[in-house]
């Protein structure tokens, strides 16, 4: 009897040990990176605290002193859905930035990107001494010409940009700038859109760069921040009503779904756009993970005659972009026909536009993703004789 009792106790203890120590041989740990960018916008803040939480798993936390404009924090965590939180404070404990995002961790080397955007500190106003008595003005004071200051547009990440050609109106008093740069010489009309999804900032940053390009032939039309609300929130849609890249016509008789999409669709027609490049980011490399479209150019095939000419341009774009990476698994793929409901697909199906979606991979640093977008679009412009 005592032997049975002792054996039962041993089995129970072993079961408890096994259930509590599955980490000895259980789920793998992935090395990932918290990538914090834009720290140069916060001059006085210098301490970052972070947390990583997932149901049923041990919370990870840390505090890091800020020394550079970017920061990479390596973590080892189990695969699954994790919530990452980040706060930026100064020496006095004053919080300058706070954000939380949820992300599925399903690959080693994955990056979780936080883009810091601190409020701009206004310098204190200078005190001007006012004399007790104002001097008498001269009998005839000549009129001075008043110079109107050029209006600028502040990008979602705080940088001042040139005055836009106009503003596209959206729902709930939403508006976003667009630019038209006309060479005056007949040629292709290229529309570049960025920031369609708010958690894909590289496309927006790259689109802003083309505001300063001057084509030698044809016309550039640029919408750098399609979804300003999502970009500011670092979220795919932000508070935008729905997915802005699923709102475009799905048949010739349909119109776009919301006010902003209808205005963009009208701009495409009014400017007689012939090429359209919508800049996006995927979560992985397509050559390594076919479920992701990261590192690809998704081109609307068009007719048989159009297909060869379009492929020539895309192949040149991909060859140029592949020079920015060393591993063959990170090379760009040439895919066809963007998703139904997207701007590139609708423009190709119903307006005959050479529409494409350009996808970089968010596993790369932001600066490299911006460079790849600019490299591919500028290469296409050279192929089209615009540069």
Supply the pLDDT for residue 224: 98
The two three-digit tokens of residue 58, written as one number: 């041990």
Contact, 333 vs 282, CB < 8 A? no
The model's pLDDT over 311-363, given as tens digits with 9 standing for 90+, comes to 999 999 999 999 999 999 999 999 999 999 999 999 999 999 999 999 999 99
CA distance 10 to 14: 6
Mean pLDDT of 133-160: 65
Higher pLDDT, 37 or 160: 160
The SS3 of residue 257 is: coil
Mean pLDDT computed over 215-222: 98
In the beta sheet, which residues pair with residue 186?
A: none
pLDDT digits (tens, 9 = 90+) for 167-191: 999 988 889 999 999 999 999 999 9
Which among 154, 34, 161, 38 is positioned nearest to 96, based on CA atoms? 38
Domain boundaries, the chain: 26-115, 153-383
pLDDT at 239: 78
Q: Per-residue pLDDT tens for 55-67? A: 878 788 888 877 7
Pairing verdict, β 275-282 and 354-361: parallel
Residue 22's pLDDT is: 39
Per the prediction, the chain carries an average pLDDT of 84
Q: How far apart are CA 100 and CA 265, in angstroms?
A: 34
pLDDT at residue 71, as a whole number: 81
Fold of 26-115: Immunoglobulin-like (2.60.40)
Give the separation between CA 286 and CA 336, rounded to whole angstroms. Answer: 13
Which pLDDT belongs to residue 90?
75
Q: Is the pLDDT of residue 2 over 50?
A: no
CB 286 within 8 A of CB 333: yes
Cα–Cα distance list, 283 to 82, 99, 256, 286, 294 (Å) = 15, 20, 27, 9, 6
Residue 261 has pLDDT above 60, yes or no: yes
* Local confidence band at 144 (pLDDT 50, 70, 90 cut-offs): low
Write down the pLDDT at residue 243: 86
User: Which region among 8-17, 195-204, 234-243 has the lowest average model confidence (pLDDT)?
Assistant: 8-17
CATH of domain 153-383: 3.40.630.10
- pLDDT value at position 17? 47
* Residues 6+ away with beta carbon under 8 Å from 275: 188, 189, 190, 191, 353, 354, 355, 380, 384
pLDDT class for 135, splitting at 50, 70, 90?
Answer: low
Determine the pLDDT at residue 108.
85
Task: Tell me the average pLDDT across 228-245.
Answer: 86
């Amino acid at each position: 009897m005592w032997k049975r009792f002792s054996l039962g106790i041993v089995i129970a203890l072993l079961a408890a040990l096994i259930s509590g120590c599955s980490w000895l041989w259980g789920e793998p740990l992935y090395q990932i990176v918290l990538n914090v960018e834009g720290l140069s916008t916060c001059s006085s803040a210098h301490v970052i605290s972070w947390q990583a939480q997932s149901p049923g798993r041990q919370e990870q936390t840390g505090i890091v002193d800020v020394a550079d404009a970017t920061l990479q924090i390596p973590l080892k965590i189990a695969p699954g859905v994790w919530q990452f939180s980040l706060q930026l404070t100064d020496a006095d404990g004053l919080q300058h930035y706070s954000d939380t995002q949820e992300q599925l961790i399903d690959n080693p080397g994955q990056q979780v990107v936080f883009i810091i955007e601190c409020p701009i500190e206004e310098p204190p106003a200078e005190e001007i001494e006012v004399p007790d008595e104002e001097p008498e003005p001269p009998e005839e004071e000549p009129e001075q010409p008043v110079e109107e200051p050029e209006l600028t547009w502040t990008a979602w990440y705080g940088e001042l940009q040139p005055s836009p050609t106009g503003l596209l109106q959206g729902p709930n008093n939403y508006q976003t700038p667009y630019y038209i740069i006309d060479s005056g010489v007949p040629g292709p009309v290229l529309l570049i859109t960025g920031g369609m999804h708010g958690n894909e900032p590289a496309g927006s940053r790259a689109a802003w760069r083309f505001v300063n390009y001057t084509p030698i032939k044809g016309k550039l039309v640029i919408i750098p921040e399609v979804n300003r609300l999502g970009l500011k929130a670092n979220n795919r849609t932000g508070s935008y009503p729905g997915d802005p890249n699923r709102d475009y016509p799905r048949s010739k008789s349909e119109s776009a779904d919301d006010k902003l999409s209808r205005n963009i669709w009208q701009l495409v027609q009014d400017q007689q756009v012939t090429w359209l490049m919508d800049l996006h980011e995927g979560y992985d490399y397509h050559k390594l993970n076919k479920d992701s479209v990261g590192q690809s150019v998704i081109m609307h095939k068009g007719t048989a005659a159009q297909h060869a000419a379009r492929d020539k341009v895309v192949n040149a774009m991909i060859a140029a972009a592949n020079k920015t990476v060393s591993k063959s698994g990170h090379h760009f793929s040439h895919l066809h026909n963007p998703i139904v409901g997207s701007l590139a697909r609708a423009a190709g199906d119903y307006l005959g536009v050479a529409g494409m979606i350009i996808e970089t991979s968010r596993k790369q640093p932001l600066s490299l993703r911006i460079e790849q977008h600019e490299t591919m679009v500028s290469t296409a412009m050279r192929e089209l004789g615009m540069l």
